[in-house]
Every structure is written in C-alpha cells, then in structure tokens.
Amino acid sequence: MTAPLTPPPEKNARPATHRNLGIDSDRLWASIHETAQIGGTPKGGINRQALTTTDREVRDWFKAACEACGCTVTVDGLGSMFARRPGRHPTLPPIAIGSHLDTQPTGGRYDGVLGVLAGLEILRALDDSGHITNAPIEVINWTNEEGARFAPAMLTSGVFAGVFTQDYAESRQDRTGTSFGTALDGIGYRGTAKAHPISAHFELHIEQGPILEAEGATIGIVTGVQSIRWYEITVTGADSHAGTTPMHLRHDAMLAAARMIAAMADIAASHGPDAKATVGLVECRPNRRNAVPGEVFFSLDLRHPEDHVVASMDAQAQTIITRLAEAGGVQATISMTWESPAVHFNPSCIEAVERATLAAGLPHRRIVSGAGHDSAYIARIAPTTMVFIPCAGGLSHNEAESATQTDIAAGADVLLRAVLDLDSQFEETQA
C-alpha cells in the first residue's frame, strides 16, 4: 500500500537514511517481462509502436503502477506521461527519470522500456522505505521516441525541449496517412500538462553497441552523444562497353567511387579510434555485368564525439573525393543532407553517476552514445546524463535484444544512487 507522503514535522530534518532503500531486482525484472507481453512477438521481442492500442495498454499499466505507489500521473498535449512523487520542497523542479515505452516494429524487450520501468522501480523503492526526497521525483514516458511510426525520432522530447513545435509533431503522418494528433486522440492520451522546468534528467538505457560487453564493464557513464553528419555523393562518368573500351579511355564511375569509399575509412582511421566513417548505401547505373558504370550514388555517415573533428573529416572527405574524381576522369557532387551536433552531458550529473558507480563497486568506463536518445534533446534545457548497461552482442532494434537481470539491477541501483546524490545537494540550498 501507499506510504504517507506528508513532509516530516521538523523543518530541517535530515532525509531518512538510505537504510532499507534499495531497488528490488526481482520486481523490476518481473515488470519488464510482464509488460513485454503487451505487443509481444512470437520471437520474444515487442512490436509496440507509438500511439497504437498496445501503446495504450502499456500506458494504462504504467499509470496504474505509478498511482499504486502514491504518484500523480499527468499527460501533456502529445501524450508524454509524467508520474510525480512529491518531495519535501514542492517549489523545487522535479528530478526526472525518463525514457520510452514505444518500440521498433521488431523491437526488443529493453530499449527504452528499461529506463521507464527502472524509474518505476525507484518510485516503488522510495514508497516502500518512506524516504522523502528534497525535490519531487518524476518518471517520464516520452511518446514516440523510436520514430518507427511517426518520423522523426525523439519527437516529443524534442517539442518539450523547444526543438520542434507542437503543430509540427501533431501533423506527422504514419505510412497509412494517419496523423500523430489523430492517433493520439484515438488512444485517449491527449492531456493538458504543460512543459515545465526540471532539475535534472537521468536515463538508464542498454548501450545498443558492443563496447561494455567487450571490456567487461557493467556501467557506462555516458558523457554525451556524438556529432553526426550525413552526405550523398553522386559520381558521374560515362557508360561504355566492357569489351571494347580500353582501360585508359574509361570514365568508370564505380572504380572512382570504390577508391573514394576506401579513402573514407582511411580518413576515419587518421582521426583516432572514436572517429567513424560508413558508406552503407551504394547504387550503380546501369548495374550490368558487361557495362562500364556511368554513375554511382553512395551515402556517407561521419561521426565523432567532437564537432570540430567531424568538421575536419568533412574537409578531408571533400578534398579527397574531388581529387579522386579528377584522377579517375569522372565528376563528383557532394551534398550534406543532415547534421546533428555533439551533445555534452552535464558534468554534475555525470559526476553523480560516477560516484554512484564507485559506491556500488561496479566495473565501469566513460562512454559516448553512438545512438540518439530523448536525453540528447532534454540536455538542451536541463542538466542531463545517461547510464548504459551492456546488451548481449551489442544487439538492439532486434527481437533477440537481451540484457541480464544482474546488469539491469546494477544499472537501476546506480540510477537510484545518482538521483539521491543529486537530491542531497538541495539540502544546503533549501535548509
């Protein structure tokens, strides 16, 4: 049952010690696998896309679970849910723990879900112990993080952070032409809560990559999200006969493109271990076995934790592509189609996670997120950081996504300790 949430009688009373305050690993594990049945797939994953009936079902489950441990759940105009547990000082903006309950069409059980349900577990643990925090604690389920049904991804955290407008979000359409706004009304989750200040935003997430597992680290202390630039390159030569055109008279777009693609990997290598260059999409015309290719189109994805390094890789790529085009007797055009600057998380939040990890005695490393997250947008308006735990084989956006109960419990424990650490800093300011 719900513990009373009335403030303690003495104005300057210390918060209850953390005695008996800890996460319940079995309860968290059970919640993850109980809710995985909502939209569960035969292969053991989840298909729970934003604003579908399964999304409504898991929202109803989450709301009931939060209310059962004494929280008030409000919903904003885009369906994002805010489960708030009062603190000792009602005027303090809440410390938020946020992530997402929507999934990819062939998603796993942990991407996003872990972050929201670990937040719920913290609400339950606080309720069990009767611990009163200084600031309110707010667990957030951000609508449509995945962008699988309504592009772009991280749509509503983007609106909350002022990156997109409410109208833009509501007008996004899925592939059947249904708008976000219509789908939101369809599941009855359009609320009236307004964007509000938050003291901090913490997000626990699986790494979605192989680094922690490879290094035997349980906790990734996330310092930011890397800088990303996308390009499209078109190489134009001349189609000609493979049997009659001598090698020295060819304008072979494929050969030039192949040299360019290999050079992109060299550029990444020359910018250190954190630089990445990927050519993942190639189209060749006319794409016949006995024709010298006249045109090749390829994509380029450049990433590094620092914007200035990506800018340097960009400059080198432009120079080398131009030079290789000239050398190959072809032309090349390069256009940048998308840019996402680096995000640097808040030092105080990062240090709170680091202290929590050390206190828990867990193997760890600092890490930069390779993927986008709601926290990347929220970092624009509030002190933010993330906690990563390993996932098997680095696999994610896949029904076979998996994480261990031990690592999940460790991640939730660090999240709780970091939140309490940050909350304790309000004691001096509010005493």
Q: Binding to Zn ion by residue 170, rule CB under 5 A?
A: no
| 45 contributes a contact to Zn ion by CB under 5 A | no
The reply to whether 209 sits near Zn ion by the rule CB under 5 A is no
Residue 367 · residue 87 · CB < 8 Å: no
Q: Based on CB atoms, which residue is closest to Zn ion, 329 or 394? A: 394
CB atoms under 10 Å from CB of 221, counted, come to 24
The footprint of Zn ion on this chain (CB under 5 A) covers a number of residues equal to 2
Give the span between the Cα atoms of 407 and 404, in whole angstroms: 5
- Which residues, 148 to 167, sit near Zn ion by CB under 5 A? none
98 versus 328: smaller Cβ distance to Zn ion: 98
The window from 54-62, 105-113, 119-127, 376-384 that contacts Zn ion (CB under 5 A) reads 105-113
Q: What is the DSSP letter of 90?
A: T
Stretch that binds Zn ion, among 60-68, 75-83, 112-120, 348-356 (CB under 5 A): 112-120
How far apart, in whole angstroms, are the C-alpha atoms of residue 390 and residue 353? 16
In the block, tokens 């369809």 appear at: 186
Radius of gyration of the chain (CA): 25
Q: CB of 97: closest distance to Zn ion in angstroms?
A: 14
Rounded distance, CA 59 to CA 54, Å? 8
Min dist CB 166 to Zn ion, Å, is 22
Indicate the residue among 202 and 231 with the shorter CB distance to Zn ion.
202
Of 144, 120, 211, 139, which is closest to residue 408 (Cα–Cα)?
120
Give yes or no for residue 111 binding Zn ion (CB under 5 A): yes
Distance (Å, whole) CA 421 – CA 128: 19
Single out the segment in contact with Zn ion by CB under 5 A; choices: 111-119, 131-139, 242-250, 296-304.
111-119
CB closer to Zn ion out of 98 and 112: 112
Stretch of 76-84, 103-111, 130-138, 150-158 contacting Zn ion, by CB under 5 A? 103-111
How wide is the angle at C-alpha 257 spanned by C-alphas 256 and 261, nearest 5°? Answer: 125
- CB nearer to Zn ion: give 111 or 421: 111
Say whether residue 112 binds Zn ion (CB under 5 A): yes
Element (H, E) at 349: helix 347-360
Q: Where are the beta strands (DSSP E) in 9-167?
A: 72-75, 81-85, 95-99, 137-141
User: Residue of minimal CB distance from Zn ion?
Assistant: 112
DSSP code of residue 388? E
Q: Which stretch binds Zn ion (CB under 5 A): 1-9, 107-115, 256-264, 266-274?
A: 107-115
Binding of residue 293 to Zn ion (CB under 5 A): no
- Position 55 contacts Zn ion (CB under 5 A): no
Collapse the DSSP code of 71 into the 3-class scheme (helix H, G, I; strand E, B; otherwise coil) and give the result: coil
Q: Is residue 401 within the footprint of Zn ion (CB under 5 A)? A: no
Residues that bind Zn ion (CB under 5 A): 111-112
